[in-house]
Amino acid sequence: MKFGVIIFPGSNCDHDAYWTIQQVAHQPVTFLWHESHDLENCDAIIVPGGFAYGDYLRTGAIAKFSPVMESVRKFAAGGGLVMGICNGFQILCESGLLPGALMRNVGLKYVCKPVHIRVENIDTPFTNSCSEGEVLTIPIGHMEGNYFCDDAMLSELSRNRQIVFRYATPTGEITAEANPNGSLDNIAGICNAGHNVLGMMPHPERSAEPELGGTDGFKIFQSLVGAMAEK
């Protein structure tokens, strides 16, 4: 099994994801350049956080036109595993791989702090190492993390169990106070209908080692490794 981590101009969490995969999960990993169509036979693709192309126009709006994302769309359509983190989530929405959009935080301020997220669906390649309803502590760092979609799409996301993570209290309650950015229905992460593409605003690579203050984020990578091993 092999991971690929995309590098865009402006990515700044690519090396964090690479480190976690190589040094913590002990899996083969390579960087994938934004101008290349070649996914180098990777089994899972990470679209990392940062400010791809400077977030000009709006977050992810330029990155969706990159050659590598054309290949990622084909890869995902064939069932390939794709995870977008923070800016990566924004890029996946802009690219049409996930529904909805990420808007500016309520309050219009950049938010950077640990948050609690409740696992809503463990039947995905990204959460199979978690327990249903488990609360994970994972940091966020974003200005545009306010997830939005229309009522029909929200109903579809709920019906298909595509809402994977919700912002919650430490005891797992879904409250307005636990929502750091105004995200619709406290949504912190969703997957596509095929459950092989995940977008999440919290940064699991920033909470994958004790030295970082917590290891809850590693469960996401552990789940991916397990899912890849079963293929």
Contacts of 105 (CB under 8 A, 6+ apart): 111, 142, 143, 144, 145, 146, 180, 181, 182
- pLDDT, residue 160, reads 97
Average pLDDT (120-135) is 97
Range of the domain at 34: 3-230
Structure tokens at 7: 């590098």
| CATH value at residue 26 | 3.40.50.880
User: How confident is residue 1, by pLDDT bands cut at 50, 70 and 90?
Assistant: confident
- pLDDT, residue 147, reads 98
With residue 73 as reference, give the H or E element that holds it.
helix 67-77
With residue 139 as reference, give the H or E element that holds it.
strand 135-142
Tell me which residues are annotated as active site: 86, 203, 205
The answer, yes or no, to whether residue 27 has pLDDT greater than 90, is: yes
- pLDDT, residue 129, reads 97
Cα–Cα separations (whole angstroms), residue 187 to 14, 178, 215, 230: 24, 11, 22, 28
The answer, yes or no, to whether residue 73 has pLDDT greater than 90, is: yes
Output b/e per residue, 160-176; b: 16+ Cβ within 10 A: eebbbbbbbeeeeeeee
Tally DSSP H helices, then E strands, for the chain: 5, 11
pLDDT, one tens digit per residue, over 177-203 is 999 999 999 999 999 999 999 999 999
> What is the sign of the dihedral through the CA atoms of 223, 225, 94 and 108?
positive
Cα 212 → chain centroid: 19
Task: Please give the share of the chain, as a percent, with pLDDT higher than 70.
Answer: 100
Look up residue 95 and give its amino acid: S
Side-chain-side CA neighbours of residue 141 (13 Å): 13
Task: Please give the share of the chain, as a percent, with pLDDT higher than 90.
Answer: 97
The answer, yes or no, to whether residue 230 has pLDDT greater than 90, is: no
Average pLDDT (114-134) is 98
The answer, yes or no, to whether residue 231 has pLDDT greater than 80, is: no
User: What is the rounded average pLDDT for all residues in the chain?
Assistant: 97
- pLDDT, residue 206, reads 97
pLDDT, one tens digit per residue, over 77-120 is 999 999 999 999 999 999 999 999 999 999 999 999 999 999 99
- pLDDT, residue 190, reads 98
User: How confident is residue 166, by pLDDT bands cut at 50, 70 and 90?
Assistant: very high
Average pLDDT (9-13) is 96
Structure tokens at 123: 């039947």
Count of domains for the chain: 1
- pLDDT, residue 202, reads 98
